[in-house]
Chains A and B, each alone.
Chain A
Amino acid sequence: MVNVQLYGVARLQAGVSSFTSEAKTLKELRGMLPNITKKEAEDLVVLVNGSGVKKSYKFKDGDTVVFLSPAGGG
């Protein structure tokens, strides 16, 4: 099981801030984000336990996965 967190515009679109998932891979999880298509999910920055990972990353139990929209302007 992985903990999934969403931030930025993606979170407003998803309508949820976090959820848990049984997804085994990042590729699989990208298709499971609420109200976000897989194509849109491919354009989100992903961090697993605070670090960037490869597209083919396979989750370990307890991983924290963050989906983040690119941002700027302050």
Chain B
Amino acid sequence: MATEYGGYMGKVLRINLTTREVDEYPFSDRERELFIGGKTMAAKILSDHFKGTEQPFSDENMMVITTGPMTGSGAPSSSRFNISTLSPLTGYVTSSNCGGNFGYYLKKAGLDALIVQGHCEKPTWLEINSGKVIFHEADDFWGMKTGATQEALDEKMKLPNGRVRKNGKICIGPAGENQVLYASVVSNERVAGRGGVGAVMGWMRLKAICASGNKEISVKEKEKMVAHTQKWFKYLRKHPLTGEQLPKLGTAGLVSSMQMKGLLSTKNYSEGHFDDFELISGERLAEQYNIVNKGCLTCPIRCSRTVEVEGKAVKGPELETLVLLGSGICNNNLEAVLRWNYELDELGMDTISCANTISYAMEANEKGLWDNGLHFSEIDDLSAVMEKIAHKEGIGAELALGSKRLSEKYGGTEFAIHAKGMELAAYEPRKAVGLGLGYAVSNRGGCHLNGGYAVILEGLGLSVNPTTYHGKADMTMLMQNLMEMISASGQCLFTSYAFFPAPLMSHPNSWYTKLVNAVLPYCGGAVRILNKFPEIAAIHLPVFHHTKGFEYVTGMKMPFGRYMRCGERGYNLERELNRRFGVDATKDALPKRLTDVVQDPKDPNSKVPLEKLKQVYYHARGWDDNGLPTKKLLQKLNIEAK
């Protein structure tokens, strides 16, 4: 539906793969005001359809691919798009976010979002050019890895003059085709990795989508936005995290900090330190392997690394991959991690879930629960194992199920490191208990970002007491709401780190940073007031450029308080949606290793006091004792319960 707001293309397209019908899905300006875009827009669309009886691999499921109003607006790090669907890995709604250029080209094609339903009889790829949808057979592409698929698509997009029409694409690899439960969707070298979105696309027999067009992405107040963007870029470039650490070391730069703080998941999360951490560190990656830094469209942070594998320049590993395929399996061979990272992207498989499933299998073997031939620190055959997972051959057919299902079959649920069925990220939460809470309550399962990333306060950026439960629930809620809205608007979550004033990060030994570290856990009450009544912050914060940028692009009034309320709405909407599929307090769980066993025998607090944290968190969120949003809260947030 046409829109009066800038930043939106005013059109959501629904594609039924079974009938090949294409129509416009109504999405009004009132809905844009409430549900913005990205994962929240997707949750609204899914919420309008899902009753809670649907199955991931069925025609009742749908894949909603969304952009945000900031996508392609020229704002910093604004190239993001999102894929939401019913996850085959968790059985709940998942959202998987990705950089690259597909979001930008989807908007250039004139669309804010795509809803894909049904399934194709034969492998198919979709061409979307300026809003027009063309179905193409993909028999020739089926079985191809993601790199070859994208090269083949570019061949198809060649113009009569031989040039490739500018386009953005997403595709799946063999893992998606074979419905590995944690298969990813790949776009250039970027990946919508989590929750098995690639498996759903594979079930639909949809190999790829290619978007192109020349529609204008409108910005409501162009001159003001240009000036604001210049200031915003400058601010991000000056900030110690977004201007120094991430550009110079990438996310890999965290390995050393995590080691020092006991956060480095090691040997399937049984420890927080790895003796050989230097060999898999971001410093070593930068000094010996990084060829060049890369970034997504309009991103000043440029966190992506480029390394050489088999004579090709390819994307380097992120922190999660380095840790979980490094210390996580007691491997100190960095070159092997570089290769696996490339191979997993080529196969179209989430590196986090794959690595954690392998480390679970290694421990199950070590404990005599499952004779599978996998051993910690023995890595020679892992490339072949990954290939087998993608093709569901031999042991790969079992590993393709993820750690939750395997632990239910072979035992060892206490060391199957997942939440709601999705494997945890690389941070060992017993030395960052706020993040432990975040992992447990995260809507999509074991995710550090959807979990609120409290670890940035608990030892990485700041040094708040990592094992106290004080203040963590309220801070987690604040961060979750903030990141939810940044994601919904179409921007990268890394821009949220600039929310923490630069002096606090630049001067960790200053009296004021020490004061903040000491006092923050006891500010839960003040944070709760802000969480509960965000509208009191009817201003734009000088350190947080997102709100003014959002106003200039869309023309919507968006002071900080409203921005936070939109984030809260998004978080609760996903929770309400997942309630229909059975989420409640019992599903907000972590494996016993993390809640019942201390990481450091000398520190009785080095475990996640999850039940205590959950109680405070539910209360802070205004949820009932069963961890569900009350009807009153849903009404207040304009969320319809079913």
Minimal beta-carbon separation of A50 from chain B (angstroms): 7
User: Which of B241, B318, B320, B506 is close to A71, meaning CB atoms less than 8 Å apart?
Assistant: B241
A8 x B283 contact (CB < 8 A):
yes
Q: Is the CB of B509 within 8 A of A74?
A: no
CB contact under 8 A between A7 and B245, given known A68-B256, A73-B251, A73-B303: no
In the complex, the answer to whether B260 meets A68 with C-beta atoms within 8 Å is yes
How far in angstroms is the closest Cβ of chain A from B356? 15
**Interface size in chain B (residues, C-beta < 8 A):** 40
Is B253's CB under 8 angstroms from A8's CB? yes
* Inter-chain contacts of B256 with A (CB < 8 A): 7-8, 68
The interface residues of chain A lying within 8 Å CB-to-CB of B525 are none
Q: How far is the CB of A26 from chain B (nearest CB, A)?
A: 11
Contact of A12 among B248, B425, B456, B505 (CB under 8 A): B248
Q: Determine whether A42 belongs to the interface, using a CB cutoff of 8 Å to chain B.
A: yes
Please give, as numbers and ranges, the residues of chain B lying within 8 Å of A52 by CB-CB distance.
463
Residue of B nearest to A41 (CB): B509
Q: Tell me the complex Cα distance, A10–B179, Å.
A: 44
A70 to B508, Cβ gap below 8 A? yes
Q: How far is the CB of B501 from chain A (nearest CB, A)?
A: 12
* A68: chain B residues within 8 A (beta carbon): 256-257, 260
B290, chain A: closest CB distance, angstroms: 11
Residues facing A in B431-469 (CB within 8 A) are 448, 456, 460-463
B246 at the binding interface (Cβ < 8 Å): yes
A: contact size bracket? 20 to 34
Contact between B461 and A9 (Cβ–Cβ < 8 Å)? no
Considering the complex, which residues of chain A in the window 15-74 have a beta carbon less than 8 Å from any beta carbon of chain B? 17, 42-47, 50, 52, 55, 66, 68-74
Q: Is B242 interfacial (CB 8 A cutoff)? A: yes
Name the distance in Å between B265's Cβ and chain A's nearest Cβ.
12
Determine if B478 is an interface residue (Cβ-Cβ < 8 Å): no
B253 touches which of A9, A42, A55 (Cβ 8 Å): A9
Partner of B460, one of A42, A44, A66, A70: A70
| Contact status B260-A73, CB under 8 Å | no
**Residue B254 is within 8 A (CB to CB) of chain A in the complex:** yes
Instruction: Indicate if the CB atoms of A71 and B460 lie closer than 8 Å.
Output: yes
In the bound complex, residues from chain A placing their C-beta under 8 Å from that of B426 are: 74
Are A74 and B318 in contact, CB atoms less than 8 angstroms apart?
Answer: yes
Whether B506 and A12, one on each chain, are in contact in the complex, defined by CB atoms closer than 8 angstroms, is no
Answer yes or no: B170 CB below 8 A from chain A CBs. Answer: no
Q: Does B623 contact A (CB under 8 A)?
A: no
Q: Is the Cβ of A74 less than 8 Å from the Cβ of B448?
A: yes
Say whether B244 faces chain A, with CB atoms less than 8 Å apart.
yes
User: Known: A12-B248, A43-B508. Contact between A69 and B260, CB under 8 A?
Assistant: no
Q: Which of A9, A45, A73 contacts B242 (CB 8 A)?
A: A73
Closest A residue to B494 using CB positions: A73
Contacting pair A43 B509 (CB below 8 A): yes
Interface residues of B in 217-262 (CB under 8 A from A): 240-242, 244-246, 248-249, 251, 253-254, 256-257, 260
B420-433 interface mask toward A, CB cutoff 8 Å, 1 = contact, 0 = none? 00000111000000
Cα(A9)–Cα(B240), bound, Å? 10
Within 8 A of A (CB), among B94-144: none
Contact A17:B283 (CB < 8 A) given known A8-B256, A9-B249: yes
- Asked whether any CB of chain A lies closer than 8 Å to the CB of B344, the reply is no
Q: Least Cβ distance of A53 to chain B in Å? A: 11
Chain A residues with CB below 8 A from B278, complex form? 17
Question: Smallest CB–CB gap between B80 and chain A, Å?
Answer: 15
B binding-site residues for A, Cβ under 8 Å: 240-242, 244-246, 248-249, 251, 253-254, 256-257, 260, 278, 281, 283, 286-287, 303, 318-320, 425-427, 448, 456, 460-463, 494, 497, 500, 505-509
